[in-house]
A and B are shown apart, each in its own frame.
Chain A
Amino acid sequence: MGPEISQFLSGMKKTVEQVVIPNLTDRFAQEQAGIVVATLGFLEVIHDKALHYEVLENQLYKHLLSQIFSLFEQEKLDNKDVLASVEALREHFKTDSLADDCALRPYPFIRASNEVMKEGLCDIIQQQTAMPTKLRSEFEALLKPFFKDIEVRERSWVKALGFDTEADQLPDINELLYSDNKLRLPGNTS
């Protein structure tokens, strides 16, 4: 494959920065062009990691949802609405099975599957007020570390946009996604 995407991005960035912006006289246009340059810089950092970001999320959501299903079974949850959300997710797993590592799937397939899982999880979260206290507490205990992971992952993903005052303390997205040149998947923390 050639030329690589990074080459296009860096070429565009340099041209806008060094040719277009110096010749703009309108302040609004200058500001917008500056944002375009910053956006291109951001894309240079993240463009080759989007697929693996989604693969990782796919595995993490499957892992969490499996834990939630086990919890509900163990606690013999009988709330009809929550069970309907669980059933809808089980139906989805016929298309993208819990055991599928998604490595050979195209990006839109993974992204779509992840969105279905996110929507399903949100449905269950919204219905947690109907859960018995003990179950709700255990359910929330499963969510907390998952939310923390989301927080770090998303913050690392947008770090290169330059808003984050804690950027120095955050892992680079490359460092967060990979270890020994391999995607860090749940259960594979090496």
Chain B
Amino acid sequence: MTDYTTTLAQRSNPDDEWIANMRQRFPVEHAVDEVFTRKLNRRNESAEHSMDFANLPALLRDFLVKQTGQQDLVVENLQRLSGGASKEQFTFELSWQPEGSNERTTQQLMIRMDPTESIVETHRLREWQTLRAMQGEVPVPKVLWLDEKGDYLGQPAMIAEFLEGTVRPPSDDEKMSGVGMYFIPELRTALQEQFVEILVKIHGIDWRNKELSTFDVPKANSTQACEWALNLWQRAWQEDTLEAHPVMAQAAVWLRENMPVVEQPVIVHGDYRSGNFMYDDNLRINAIFDWELAYLGDFHDDLAWATLSLFGGPDEQGKGLASGLMPQEEFLERYEKLSGFTVDPKRLFYYHLFSYYKISVIAAATSLRVAHSKKTHLDAMMNFASGLGYLGLSELNRMLEKT
């Protein structure tokens, strides 16, 4: 791939002036700005992402010794996990004495680590804070340690407990986690109510009483929350795409001209759908994953994302299901009943369109960028995922036709 134009060359080798221009054109939350700016500053480094993790066990051990003060802890069986498109994930066993315990134990844990450049550039401390804020509120893995800047492990990373369960139902044969996922009727019956209940709980959390210093708080009764979110995705497009696209330009104009007011911002998960929850043998949802895109904004954003046709496979009669679990109308009715919020169809439309804009950014721009520069752990998959990006663009255009 050649940098055919000056703009493409600037995107591939951004200088200080170009980076400053991006930051000025698209004001975002401070933590988002930090990771996006870091990404651009590091883009000029030519190094490909290395798939060799032979040094990781030793680095991990040193890090954990520093964190726990236990010289005799043992790190074993470090293995790469499949899945995890945006972050590299590993499991390992740690033999140690947990705080408050008198006994030595062996625990299976997982590492969630930034690749050199990610399909979505996000802030590890922010994800860590979100997971800690969710502890005791909704099912999430317990996070134990954080290497915020990658000073110890080479890349920013966090370590969490490893939970057993099922993400992809055995009956499903899809290619990418969460895309068009199919649950058999018994599973749907068992999971659908929980799926709504947990989302309602997330939106009902009093975030003012949580330690979320990496979040900027948008003004209530304003478009600020939406504007920051739009700036984030538009900035990602402008920084990452390998090709200008007029449908994306048109969509950005429409999204900006039609930003809805957010009366009372809630914690938005940002990626709430099938593929991002896990259930146990008793068919209880025991974990919600992938909090890296969480922000304070409009609850319609999560509703739109969870009901995207792309993430919901059809039932046995061919009817599309929200996240593969229940018809959209039923999902929204249950949500309204449990939350006390009223779903505004206009805003839902807005965030559906915005969702396809995001998918197009992720899968038609950033995934191709990181694969092109070989800065991810899944280069082949990132190229392949562009197929999803062009479906997103197609859906985006169809929605624009209705405006």
Residues of chain A touching chain B, judged by Cβ–Cβ distance below 8 Å, are 26-28, 31-32, 35-36, 38-39, 42, 108, 111-112, 115-116, 118-119, 121-122, 125-126, 128-129, 143-144, 146-148, 150-151, 154-155, 157-158, 161-165
Contact = CB atoms under 8 A, between A and B. Distances in A.
B400 A147 contact: yes
A163 B387 contact: yes
B249 A164 contact: no
Secondary structure dominating the interface of A = helix
Contacts, number: 102
Given A35-B380, A151-B397, A122 B390 contact: no
A119 B11 CA distance: 13
Contacts of B245: 118, 122
Given A118-B246, A151-B393, A35 B381 contact: yes
Contact residues on B (Cβ < 8 Å of other chain), bracket: 35 or more
Contacts of A28: 80-82
Contacts of A151: 247, 393-394, 397-398
A157 B246 contact: no
Contact of B391 (A118, A146, A155): A155
Contacts of B249: 121-122, 125-126
A13 to B, nearest CB: 13
Contacts of B81: 28
Interface string B1-38: 01011011000000000000000000000000000000
B62 interface: no
B390 A154 contact: yes
A122 B384 CA distance: 26
B378 A164 contact: no
Contacts of A115: 4-5, 8, 243-244
Interface in B377-403: 378, 380-381, 383-384, 386-388, 390-391, 393-394, 397-398, 400-401
Nearest to A32: B380
B141 interface: no
Contact of B4 (A112, A158, A161): A112
Given A122-B245, A122-B249, A155-B391, A150 B380 contact: no
A129 B367 CA distance: 30
B378 A32 contact: yes
Given A125-B253, A148-B397, 16 more contacts: A32-B378, A35-B381, A39-B380, A39-B384, A115-B4, A115-B5, A115-B8, A115-B244, A116-B4, A116-B5, A121-B244, A125-B250, A126-B252, A129-B257, A151-B397, A154-B394
Interface string B164-195: 00000000000100011000000000000000
Q: Which 4 A-B pairs have the closest CB atoms?
A: A161-B387, A112-B4, A118-B244, A122-B249
Contacts of B82: 27-28, 31
A31 B222 CA distance: 45
Secondary structure dominating the interface of B = helix
Nearest to B364: A154
A165 B8 CA distance: 33
A106 to B, nearest CB: 12
A27 B252 CA distance: 40
Q: Which of A38, A128, A161 has the most CB of B within 10 A?
A: A161
A157 B390 contact: yes
B244 A36 contact: no
B237 to A, nearest CB: 10
A126 B109 CA distance: 48
Contacts of B5: 112, 115-116, 119
